[in-house]
Amino acid sequence: MRAITVSVLLLTSLPLAFAAAAPNHQADVVETSKGPLKITPLFHGSVMLEFDGKVIHVDPWSQADYTGIPKADLIVITHTHADHMDAALLKTLRKESTILVGPPAVTDTLNGTVGDTDAISNGEKKSFLGIEIEGVPMYNLKLGSGPGKPFHHKGIGNGYILAFGDTRVYFSGDTECVPEMKALTNISVAFVAMNPPRIMPPPEAAACVAAFRPKIVYPYHYRGQNTQEFADALKSTPGVEVRLRKLEGEP
């Protein structure tokens, strides 16, 4: 795997024993302008971030082993599909002070059943716990159950950019290579989904990543896809480091 040199971002791969809260998962640490950001991919589309004493969960799903995983200070949900919005797990991960953020479709669907939620729409920015969150459109261009019936409609779900100081972390959510994704700039770390037939395959995901060139990219939500194919397709793209992770339960 190629190493890259970056001026403001340092990523260090840590042994499994470091992640005391998630002993079965590999964690990485990114040095941001406001302190270290610990990143732990968990399962499928589920990722845990730890920053400034706070725990952030993205799309937590109970098919992962959450034994020993700390409760959330902030939960971010991309859309209402069951592998991203797991209401039962949300109840167990929440504390009284936990903030839950999602697109309006998520807040409407949950309807207070797991506590209060804060809505963010495509293109909107809000700050929580000192972290700026921006909603990025995620949708299908051509994949669907029939003409005019995409699996993911534009405006219903969000990808997200979370800003930790000068470090911008992008989560694609379930999307194809849409124009809004290709137009992203200054992304430090990206999590990009690749899971046909509902979202793009690895070659399309690689082409999209080559367009916006994050410093580091993790394939996630890949369900049996060949992530090495994704990595190989990006070998000739300068300034992009691919980090492959064996996510729990994924082939």
* Residue 96 lies in domain: 11-242
In the structure, what pLDDT confidence band is assigned to residue 60 with cuts at 50, 70 and 90?
Answer: very high
Q: Is residue 1 part of a domain?
A: no
Note the pLDDT of residue 196: 86
pLDDT (average), residues 227-251: 87
Note the pLDDT of residue 151: 73
Note the pLDDT of residue 169: 98
Q: Write the CATH number for 27.
A: 3.60.15.10
Q: 43 Cβ partners below 8 Å, 6+ apart?
A: 61, 63, 64, 65, 247, 248, 249, 250
Structure tokens given for 229: 């194919």
For the chain, the domain total comes to 1
Condensed to tens digits (0 to 9), the pLDDT of residues 23-33 reads: 457 899 999 99
Of residues 2 and 98, which shows the higher confidence score? 98
Burial label, 154 (beta-carbon count in 10 A; 0-12, 13-18, 19+): middle
Q: Is residue 4 part of a domain?
A: no
Per DSSP, the residues of the chain read ------SS--EEE--GGG-TTSTTS--EEEEETTEEEEEEEEETTEEEEEETTEEEEES--TTS--TTPPPEEEEE---SSTTT--HHHHHHHEEEEEEEEE-HHHHHHHTTBTB--EE--TT-EEEETTEEEEEEEE--SS-EEETTEESS-TTTEEEEEEEETTEEEEE--S--S-HHHHT--S-SEEEEE--TTTS--HHHHHHHHHHH--SEEEEES-TT--HHHHHHHTTTSTT-EE-----TT--
Distance CA 66, CA 180 (A): 33
Q: Is residue 161 part of a domain?
A: yes
Q: Is the peptide bond before 15 cis (omega within 30 degrees of 0)?
A: no
Of residues 5 and 169, which shows the higher confidence score? 169
Highest mean pLDDT, choosing among 6-20, 138-152, 158-172 = 158-172
In the structure, what pLDDT confidence band is assigned to residue 119 with cuts at 50, 70 and 90?
Answer: very high
Per DSSP, the residues of 49-73 read EEETTEEEEES--TTS--TTPPPEE
Of residues 234 and 65, which shows the higher confidence score? 234
Q: Is residue 3 part of a domain?
A: no
Q: Is residue 227 part of a domain?
A: yes
Q: Is residue 250 part of a domain?
A: no
| Residues shown for the chain | 251
Condensed to tens digits (0 to 9), the pLDDT of residues 199-233 reads: 999 999 999 999 999 999 999 999 888 999 999 99
Note the pLDDT of residue 19: 33
Note the pLDDT of residue 12: 36
Condensed to tens digits (0 to 9), the pLDDT of residues 76-94 reads: 999 999 889 999 999 999 9
